[in-house]
């Protein structure tokens, strides 16, 4: 991939550009365009209907490099803007603020036979119905793509000159979208089926360089988790090797920021050297959770070090504005570009490293692959891709001191753009991973960080009626919450409950699920719609278990419902989990590749293990049992630590379980069969190890 410096055009405020009224950093990037942009709202749609102009819909996000390129080439160009304003009503959407709309129009583009992505450029009827689209268009014909001006003229002519054909396109896309929102139902998903799927996915792993397939390579945390759970199920070391190799190559490669921590969105090459430099909260959240699980099994110091570095980056660079109580959520992303050039903030010339590090420079350059000629575009991307792990502690101490000096020098550079909006779904992913990591690595400070972010969302991201909103920035919350918002926050609340034992977090998870059941459940076919029943500005309510850039909300809900069933003993949660699984189970016969998170939810439903400890957190006996538990995989654990069981109803899983001789006592329950009470930590470890 060639580093692309976007052209610049002078801009002056455009009084007909309404994006100045928005809070989204992405939309505000376009507020001075000569294009008469509108946000997606009733007024913009009415304008299209009243003028009988088609809608040009442009969807992107603040950290998107090719969104910036198209903006500089076309949206800042006076002639292109004139064509857009004359022939279309132009609407700009931040895909992170409106994932529901993005999902709809990405699906429409796929049905047109094109690869999705961002920027997404769709052409709609005044009613918001798609009839043609694409992604990035250059101003002039290039890369095998038509010039944007030619596209604008052709699509305007098609809309006004051949409305019958446009109507046929609209009807065909609408029918196909309706069909996709009726997934194939099925029956049980057995361990044997999951093993066959894992075996097939293992064939896609690059067993030399790690990851799935060839360039470009994404972390694919849900798929890696699926492979890891196959290893936990059947002990096949091939899965263990594939996942451990993939994680190692990623966190040693250039896709990982070796100075500041954090993983970039993907690598443009097969060796994990050249990242697409944007950093997204959700990628790092998913990856953090997987790192912890694999560390439990391998004990690799590299994995523990990288987990700590990712969280240090989160605390240093990704905490959004605090509320009145001092609680802070997590920001969405960091841009790929600075000064109009992709990666400029992150890459290094050899001479600058020599200047900063002096006598330590030769050692550092050897470890991080730095040379005079560079490894990308005459510059150096720091990487340790040729190393399988860390060096000796004394050498790592030298490297840490060098990194701190370079990080200080880098801090003086012009920083990439920071999208500081707080998104419920992405925060839910990070909160859950932080809660898990706090247990795995015995870091109570990480649990407090997660609890504060959860408190921020719970207190600031609801409307007057108490309904959840999707996004928050600059003191304002906005946009309808989605399935993914509720699902990820419900799972986050359950992970917080497991880590800290606060009843308020369990109650919060139950509320999120109740809201989903009230407004998102499909009473006819089962499963949850992506949008609520009162989200009025979408042309269709999509329903899918497919993963996108983030894990499927329906897949996450399969785990959430199963966890609640185990935690509460309430049959309704188990029955709803079964309905949800059956609603999508037939999809694995069509294409299981995008169903990793759903399959992981089914795996949890099958193999969840209830651990009940009768004791008080903080007391030696209880902590000894917890330490024994946390030394093993947490993927299937449902933990409850209870000091007094007398107030629980008979149907509750902890009812009837008592402490032995006033000692902290553990019970291990699998498939409705519980062990005898255990007070000895070593005996508890033995019970946990039994299959």
542 within 8 A of 483, measured Cβ to Cβ: no
SS3 575: helix
Residue of 318, 278, 329 lying closest to 477 (CA atoms)? 329
> pLDDT category, 461, cuts 50, 70, 90?
very high
Say what the pLDDT of residue 671 is: 83
11 within 8 A of 76, measured Cβ to Cβ: yes
Q: What is the pLDDT of residues 80-95, one digit of tens each?
A: 999 999 999 999 999 9
Rounded to an integer, the average pLDDT of 197-217 is 96
Residue of 515, 484, 506 lying closest to 638 (CA atoms)? 506
Is the pLDDT confidence value at 19 over 70? Answer: yes
Burial (Cβ within 10 Å: 0-12, 13-18, ≥19) of residue 84:
buried
Q: What is the pLDDT of residues 505-546, one digit of tens each?
A: 999 999 999 999 999 999 999 999 999 999 999 999 999 999
Q: What is the pLDDT of residues 347-405, one digit of tens each?
A: 999 999 999 999 999 999 999 999 999 999 999 999 999 999 999 999 999 999 999 99
Cα gap 125→123, rounded to integer Å: 7
Percent of the chain with pLDDT over 90: 93
Say what the pLDDT of residue 587 is: 96
Rounded to an integer, the average pLDDT of 39-46 is 96
Cα gap 172→191, rounded to integer Å: 38
Is the pLDDT confidence value at 177 over 70? Answer: yes
Q: What is the pLDDT of residues 472-483, one digit of tens each?
A: 999 999 999 999
Cα gap 326→46, rounded to integer Å: 41
Burial (Cβ within 10 Å: 0-12, 13-18, ≥19) of residue 324:
exposed
Cα gap 291→612, rounded to integer Å: 26
Q: How many CB atoms lie within 10 A of CB 350?
A: 16
Does an H or E element contain 284, and which? helix 281-298
Longest dimension (CA), the chain: 86
Residues 6 or more apart whose Cβ sits within 8 Å of residue 110:
116
Full 3-state SS string of 515-562:
HHHHHCECCCCCCECCCCCCCCCCCCCCCCCCCCCCCCHHHHHHHHHH
447 within 8 A of 435, measured Cβ to Cβ: yes
Strand partners, 641: 613
Say what the pLDDT of residue 689 is: 87
Residue in this structure with the two tokens 């995008």, named with its chain if needed: 594
| pTM summary value | 0.95
Say what the pLDDT of residue 603 is: 97
Residues 6 or more apart whose Cβ sits within 8 Å of residue 631:
296, 685
Say what the pLDDT of residue 691 is: 55
Strand partners, 469: 480
Q: What is the pLDDT of residues 248-263, one digit of tens each?
A: 999 999 999 999 999 9
Is the pLDDT confidence value at 8 over 80? Answer: no
Cα gap 322→317, rounded to integer Å: 14
Cα gap 154→10, rounded to integer Å: 28
Cα gap 555→562, rounded to integer Å: 11
> pLDDT category, 6, cuts 50, 70, 90?
very low
Rounded to an integer, the average pLDDT of 675-689 is 94
> pLDDT category, 181, cuts 50, 70, 90?
confident
Cα gap 483→488, rounded to integer Å: 9
Rounded to an integer, the average pLDDT of 98-119 is 94
- Could you give the angle at which helices 483-500 and 444-460 cross, rounded to 10 degrees? 140
Is the pLDDT confidence value at 7 over 60? Answer: no
Q: What is the pLDDT of residues 50-82, one digit of tens each?
A: 999 999 999 999 999 899 999 999 999 999 999
SS3 513: helix
> pLDDT category, 2, cuts 50, 70, 90?
very low
Q: What is the pLDDT of residues 312-343, one digit of tens each?
A: 999 999 999 999 999 999 999 999 999 989 99
Cα gap 494→604, rounded to integer Å: 14
Rounded to an integer, the average pLDDT of 599-623 is 96
Cα gap 526→133, rounded to integer Å: 31
Rounded to an integer, the average pLDDT of 621-625 is 96
Cα gap 178→213, rounded to integer Å: 31
Say what the pLDDT of residue 5 is: 44
Q: For all residues of the chain together, what is the average pLDDT?
A: 95
User: Domains in the chain, start-ordered, CATH in brackets?
Assistant: 18-180 (3.40.30.10), 191-338+418-607 (1.50.10.10), 346-411 (no CATH), 609-689 (3.40.30)
> pLDDT category, 574, cuts 50, 70, 90?
very high
As a whole number of Å, the CA-based R_g of the chain is: 26
Is the pLDDT confidence value at 152 over 50? Answer: yes
Cα gap 278→275, rounded to integer Å: 8
């Amino acid at each position: 991939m060639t580093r692309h410096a976007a052209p610049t055009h002078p801009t002056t405020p455009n009084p007909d550009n309404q994006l100045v009224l928005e809070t989204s950093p992405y939309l505000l990037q376009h507020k001075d365009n000569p294009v008469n942009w509108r946000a997606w709202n009733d007024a913009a749609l009415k304008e299209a209907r009243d003028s009988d102009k088609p809608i040009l819909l442009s969807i992107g996000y603040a950290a998107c490099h090719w969104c910036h390129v198209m903006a500089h080439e076309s949206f800042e160009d006076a002639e292109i803007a004139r064509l857009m304003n004359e022939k279309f009503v132009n609407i700009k959407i931040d895909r992170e603020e409106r994932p529901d709309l993005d999902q709809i129009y990405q699906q429409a583009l796929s049905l047109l036979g094109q690869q999705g992505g961002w920027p997404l450029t769709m052409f709609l009827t005044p009613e918001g119905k798609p009839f043609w689209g694409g992604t990035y268009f250059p101003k002039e014909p290039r890369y095998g793509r038509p010039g944007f001006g030619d596209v604008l003229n052709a699509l305007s002519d098609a809309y006004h000159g051949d409305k019958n054909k446009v109507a046929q396109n609209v009807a065909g896309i609408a029918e196909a979208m309706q069909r996709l929102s009726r997934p194939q139902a099925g029956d049980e998903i057995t361990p044997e089926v999951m093993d066959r799927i894992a075996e097939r996915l293992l064939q896609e792993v690059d067993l030399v360089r790690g990851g799935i397939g060839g360039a470009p390579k994404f972390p694919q945390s849900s798929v890696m988790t699926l492979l890891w759970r196959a290893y936990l199920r059947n002990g096949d070391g091939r899965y263990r090797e594939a996942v451990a190799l993939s994680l190692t190559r990623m966190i040693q490669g250039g896709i990982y920021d070796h100075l500041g921590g954090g993983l970039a969105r993907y690598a443009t090459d097969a060796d994990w050297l050249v990242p697409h430099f944007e950093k997204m909260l959700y990628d790092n959240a998913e990856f953090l959770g997987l790192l912890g699980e694999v560390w439990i099994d391998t004990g690799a110091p590299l994995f523990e070090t990288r987990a700590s570095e990712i969280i240090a980056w989160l605390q240093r660079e990704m905490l959004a504005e605090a509320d009145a109580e001092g609680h802070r959520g997590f920001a969405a992303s960091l841009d790929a570009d600075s000064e109009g050039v992709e990666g400029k903030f992150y890459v290094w010339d050899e001479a600058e490293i020599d200047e900063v590090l002096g006598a330590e420079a030769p050692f550092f350059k050897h470890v991080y692959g730095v040379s005079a000629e560079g490894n990308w575009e005459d510059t150096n991307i720091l990487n340790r891709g040729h190393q399988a792990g860390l060096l000796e502690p004394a050498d790592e101490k030298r490297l840490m001191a060098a990194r701190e000096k370079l990080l200080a020098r880098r801090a003086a550079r012009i920083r990439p753009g920071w999208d500081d909006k707080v998104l419920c779904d992405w925060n839910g992913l990070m909160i859950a991973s932080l809660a898990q990591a706090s247990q795995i690595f015995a870091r109570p400070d990480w649990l407090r960080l997660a609890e504060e972010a959860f408190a921020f969302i719970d207190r600031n991201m609801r409307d007057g009626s108490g309904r959840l909103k999707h996004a928050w920035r600059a003191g304002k919350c906005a946009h309808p919450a989605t399935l993914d918002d509720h699902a990820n926050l419900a799972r986050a609340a359950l992970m917080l409950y497991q880590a800290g034992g606060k009843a308020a977090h369990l109650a919060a998870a139950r509320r999120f699920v109740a809201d989903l059941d009230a407004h998102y459940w499909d009473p006819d076919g089962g499963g949850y719609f992506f949008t609520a029943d009162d989200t009025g500005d979408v042309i269709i309510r999509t329903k899918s278990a497919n993963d996108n850039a983030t894990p499927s909300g329906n897949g996450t809900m399969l785990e959430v419902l199963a966890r609640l069933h185990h935690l509460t003993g309430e049959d309704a949660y188990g029955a709803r989990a079964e309905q949800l699984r059956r609603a999508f189970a037939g999809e694995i016969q069509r294409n299981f590749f995008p169903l990793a998170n759903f399959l992981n939810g089914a795996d949890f439903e099958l193999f969840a293990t209830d651990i009940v400890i009768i004791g008080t957190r903080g007391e030696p006996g209880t902590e000894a049992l917890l330490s024994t538990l946390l030394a093993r995989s947490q993927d299937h654990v449902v933990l409850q630590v209870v000091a007094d069981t007398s107030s629980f109803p008979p149907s509750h899983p902890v009812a009837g379980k008592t402490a032995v001789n006033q000692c902290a006592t553990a019970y291990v329950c699998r498939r409705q069969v519980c062990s005898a009470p255990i007070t000895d930590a070593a005996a508890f470890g033995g019970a946990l190890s039994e299959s």
